[in-house]
Amino acid sequence: MKFDDLAVPMDVTASIADQYMTWSAIASVGVVSRTNVGRLWNSEAVNSNARLGTAMCDAAMPDLAVFPFGATPFFCWYITAEGAVVEKQVSVGRRGITFEKA
């Protein structure tokens, strides 16, 4: 399967019974997009009382790439209104992107 011209491996199963065919396709990797990660992180920062303009993610994050499910090598961070730095690691799973405590 392709996602914006990026090959995304899938485990596909199919069966035929009577006049019906059923199938399922389950991704075996996750897709990381710099734009989507940035939007999700900005939303988390705003909801966590971050100082305006302090939410950032690793500059080395690719525009679009596939990664095995789990933690990626990328981090995002922001500064709270009280001045504390919050840093979390970007993870990818079957349900999308999450941010885990570093």
Mean pLDDT per 10-residue segment, the chain (102 residues): 65 85 83 94 94 95 93 97 96 93 84
**Cα dist. 101→28, 34, 85, 89 in Å?**
24, 19, 12, 6
- The pLDDT of residue 34 is 94
Helix (H, G, I), strand (E, B) or coil at 1: coil
- The pLDDT of residue 90 is 98
- The pLDDT of residue 44 is 94
Please tell me the pTM assigned to this model. 0.78
CB neighbours of residue 45 within 10 Å: 23
**CA atoms of 52 and 30, how far apart (whole Å):** 30
| The total number of residues written for the chain in this structure | 102
